[in-house]
Amino acid sequence: MSKKNSQKNAVPYVTVEQLVSEHDQELQLHPIGAAHNLQRKIHEPTVNRPGLALAGFKKYFASKRVQVFGSVETTYLRSLSAQERDERYKWIFKTQIPCVVFSRNLNPDTALLKAAKKAKVPVFKTPLITMRFINLATLALEMMFAPRCNEIGGMVDILGVGVIIRGDSGIGKSEAVLALVERGYSLVADDVTIVTRIDNHYIVGTSNEMTRNLMEIRGIGIIDVAAMFGVRSFRTEKQVNLVVTLVHWDKLKEIDRLGIDNEYVKILGVEIPHITIPVRPGRDLARLIEVAAFQTKLKMSGINTAKALSERLLKKMTRDRPAKG
């Protein structure tokens, strides 16, 4: 299929406002005082504890990251004189850090808040313990910075196998997905799947939040899958394990009848197993896609039926070959 996908390279930065609004539930960030300049940019998908910098080692300070103050940092700052604290605050805010987060609901002193206000750097606190916040914030930032694009096609989870179903408009993609949902599988996305590359190794698919758990069926309109088939009939995201392309039978010059050779398609530079299914009236597309997912799951567990048959035939041919005398 030659449709162009809307692709985005790795995100160069995210704003503090994006981090706070998109991950409010898990990070539980609450502003201390007035929230200054939430449009400040975070340039690296991780966080930093500024303990060494506060102690005076200022080389290699990660100023482009979210700065996290835990019990160690706050206890150390209390041990300094007021003048020393002012000097440390003046220097750290001069480096243009994006924001400061105090874990364990710790409260910063007045001097830090004054320096932050002057530098227009937002300060937050969270009830999470320091390492818990660092882990969650790093995962959130990695997802936000990850390369992503839109794949034209629906996605469904078939027994743990994430399948993107592609094809020309009107070929029956949504109808096939709907039939699979009716059989107890889970909808991930309809019509357009947002895919993200994680750790440069695997692809995760999801849907637009606005249209999550909704499908558009020609002749019927918009349906709510969750309301119709229950909450188990959809999931928010799934790793992509297989891409199925539906093609009109007449457009295929050759049809793979054995499946010995593995075919792949690249999504954001990652190779994903790919299967082309010919379409013509009378073929049960949902059943064929279901079997393709089962086959992929077997291959993932080390069982390749076509390869096993080929090896069996080669052994028989070798055994039956007459000995040269």
% of the chain surpassing 90 pLDDT: 68
pLDDT tens-digit profile of 100-113?
999 999 999 999 99
Residue 288 exposed, middle or buried by CB count within 10 Å (0-12, 13-18, 19+): middle
CATH of 10-145, one of 3.40.640.10, 1.10.10.10, 3.40.1390.20, 3.40.50.800: 3.40.1390.20
Beta strand 270-279 with 242-248 is parallel
pLDDT tens-digit profile of 205-232?
999 988 898 998 888 999 999 999 998 8
Angle at which helix 82-94 crosses helix 110-119, to 10 degrees, equals 30
Looking at residue 259, its pLDDT comes to: 67
Angle CA 28–32–38, to nearest 5: 80
Give the Å distances, CA to CA, from 178 to 3, 159, 171, 184, 186: 23, 16, 14, 10, 10
pLDDT tens-digit profile of 255-268?
766 667 788 999 99
How far apart (Å, rounded) are the C-alpha atoms in residues 266 and 264? 7
Looking at residue 323, its pLDDT comes to: 59
How far apart (Å, rounded) are the C-alpha atoms in residues 70 and 68? 6
pLDDT tens-digit profile of 145-183?
999 899 999 999 999 999 999 999 889 898 999 999 999
Q: pLDDT averaged over the chain?
A: 89
Cβ atoms of 126 and 103 closer than 8 Å: yes
Q: H/E element holding 272?
A: strand 270-279
More confident position, 84 or 309: 84
Task: Report pTM.
Answer: 0.75
- Where exactly are the structural domains of the chain? 10-145, 148-310
DSSP code for 79: T
Beta strand 270-279 with 264-267 is antiparallel
pLDDT tens-digit profile of 56-73?
898 889 999 999 999 999
Q: What is the CATH class of 148-310?
A: alpha beta
pLDDT at residue 8 greater than cutoff 60: no
pLDDT at residue 253 greater than cutoff 90: no
Cβ atoms of 245 and 167 closer than 8 Å: yes
How far apart (Å, rounded) are the C-alpha atoms in residues 29 and 126? 5
% of the chain surpassing 70 pLDDT: 94
How far apart (Å, rounded) are the C-alpha atoms in residues 142 and 131? 16
DSSP string spanning 177-241? HHHHHHTT-EEEESSEEEEEEETTTEEEEE--GGGTTEEEETTTEEEEHHHHH-GGGB-SEEE--
Q: Quickly tell me which residue has 């959130």 as its tokens.
A: 140
Binned at pLDDT 50, 70 and 90, residue 239 comes out as very high
More confident position, 37 or 65: 65
Binned at pLDDT 50, 70 and 90, residue 37 comes out as confident
Binned at pLDDT 50, 70 and 90, residue 9 comes out as low
Looking at residue 4, its pLDDT comes to: 44
pLDDT tens-digit profile of 284-308?
999 999 999 999 998 888 877 777 7
pLDDT tens-digit profile of 11-35?
789 999 999 999 999 999 999 987 7
CB count in 10 Å sphere of residue 171: 18
